[in-house]
């Protein structure tokens, strides 16, 4: 019963963190400079998620040049820049990543 | 009720979310099986994805609950990991004001990293079809997350650990594929570079609030560059 109570409280926190800022009655008006500032949120947050996966090895040291995550990640940046296609980027870098993990690194 | 046009957006939402739906399979299974291994009942283990619906929070809290951590420390940890969502809500605040309250609650509940990643279009949630798109994307992610967790709960002991398959690479690449084409100005490029540098350094030095800290600094950097370049353009105009 205790665990279920904790789970319910945790659910309240995750839901309110997601919903709170969407609530219309909250006295926050986003305009002007705030709109510009927030327009960088998607590239900023998403990069803060992908960069450590690509540039770190096991979260404890900078990547080595032979790390498949790093090589295929850099390739993905190039392909995304050229093609602007999610699926082309996923396919090309995914296959590269798979081959690297299978054949090159032990 | 669902006409042809709505169905198109419904399908597009599900298809766009598909890479994420499949990529989180190992973590869903891990969450489910870890909960059982750490002594949770099946009901508790399933309530986690059903109500909490947050991978990192689930993994950390399962260990904390099993280690008899205090309720306060569990809830504070949950809050820290969830704090990035405030940023998502703020960014989408203006976009969801046309929705009715039921629709807004739904989008709020489904607002994961993955749904936020698919919501950066200026038109996101702006009209009914865009709402259908978001609902389909977010809803399908919820569905798959639940299925993977349940799979972990009931078959975790016989399934191999798949988290070393490298599927986190698929998540990283999908984010890369969404972010890189959106870089159309010096300001956005600055935000991306600052975010990459700070998130890597902060993770390396095990600092707290990596996501929120790195993101806010990056957004500020982008904002400053944007203001400066606007001023230069204005100056040339004179």
Give contacts of B 109-128 with A, CB under 8 A.
109, 111, 113, 116-117, 119-120
Question: What ipTM describes this predicted complex?
Answer: 0.91
Kindly tell me if the per-residue pLDDT of A106 is higher than 60: no
pLDDT of residue A58: 76
Q: What tens digit of pLDDT does each residue of B52-70 get?
A: 999 999 999 999 999 999 9
Give me the mean pLDDT over the B21-25 stretch.
92
- pLDDT tier for residue B231 given thresholds of 50, 70 and 90: confident
- pLDDT tier for residue B160 given thresholds of 50, 70 and 90: confident
Task: Sketch the domain layout of chain B as residue ranges.
Answer: 4-180, 183-238
pLDDT of residue B77: 93
Q: What tens digit of pLDDT does each residue of B102-136 get?
A: 999 999 999 999 999 999 888 899 889 999 999 99
More confident residue, A59 or B230: B230
Could you tell me which residues are beta bridge partners of residue A61?
A: A57
For chain A, give the percent of residues with pLDDT over 90: 79
Candidates B97, B62, B95, B101; CA nearest to B78 is B62
Question: DSSP class of residue B97?
Answer: T
Whole-number Å distance between alpha carbons of A90 and A68: 14
Largest CA distance in chain A: 57
Give me the mean pLDDT over the A80-101 stretch.
93
Kindly tell me if the per-residue pLDDT of B168 is higher than 70: yes
Kindly tell me if the per-residue pLDDT of B238 is higher than 60: no
Chain A residue with Cα closest to B220: A37
Give me the mean pLDDT over the B152-161 stretch.
87
Instruction: Give the DSSP H/E element, type plus range, for residue B136.
Output: helix B128-155
Flag whether residue A85 sits within 8 Å of chain B, measured between CB atoms.
Answer: yes
Question: DSSP class of residue A64?
Answer: P
Q: Cβ B227–A77 below 8 Å, yes or no?
A: no
pLDDT of residue A76: 97
């Amino acid at each position: 019963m205790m665990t279920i109570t904790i789970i319910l409280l945790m659910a309240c926190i995750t839901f309110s963190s997601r919903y709170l800022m969407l609530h219309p009655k909250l006295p926050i008006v986003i305009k002007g400079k705030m709109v510009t500032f927030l327009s960088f949120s998607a590239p900023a947050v998403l990069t803060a998620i992908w960069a450590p996966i690509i540039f770190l090895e096991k979260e404890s040291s900078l990547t080595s040049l032979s790390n498949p995550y790093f090589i295929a990640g850099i390739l993905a940046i190039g392909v995304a820049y050229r093609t602007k296609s999610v699926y082309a980027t996923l396919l090309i870098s995914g296959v590269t990543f798979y081959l690297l993990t299978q054949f090159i690194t032990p | 009720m669902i006409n042809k046009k709505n169905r198109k957006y419904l399908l597009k939402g599900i298809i766009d979310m598909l890479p994420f739906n499949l990529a989180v399979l190992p973590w869903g299974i891990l969450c489910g099986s870890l909960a059982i291994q750490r002594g949770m009942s099946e009901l508790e283990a399933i309530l986690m994805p059903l109500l909490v619906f947050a991978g990192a929070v689930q993994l950390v809290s399962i260990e904390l609950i099993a280690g008899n951590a205090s309720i306060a420390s569990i809830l504070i940890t949950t809050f820290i990991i969830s704090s990035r969502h405030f940023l998502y809500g703020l960014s989408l605040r203006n976009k969801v004001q046309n929705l009715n309250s039921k629709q807004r609650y739904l989008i709020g509940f489904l607002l994961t990293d993955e749904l936020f990643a698919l919501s950066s279009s200026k038109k996101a949630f702006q009209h009914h079809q865009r709402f259908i798109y978001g609902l389909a994307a977010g809803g399908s992610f919820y569905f798959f997350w639940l299925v993977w967790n349940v799979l972990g709960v009931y078959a975790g002991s016989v399934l191999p650990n798949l988290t070393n398959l490298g599927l986190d690479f698929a998540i990283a690449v999908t984010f890369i594929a969404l972010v890189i084409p959106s870089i159309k100005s010096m300001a956005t490029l600055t935000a991306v570079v600052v975010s990459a540098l700070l998130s890597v350094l902060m993770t390396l030095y095990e600092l707290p609030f990596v996501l929120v800290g790195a993101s806010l600094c990056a957004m500020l950097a982008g904002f400053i560059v944007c203001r400066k370049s606007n001023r230069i353009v204005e100056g040339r105009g004179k």
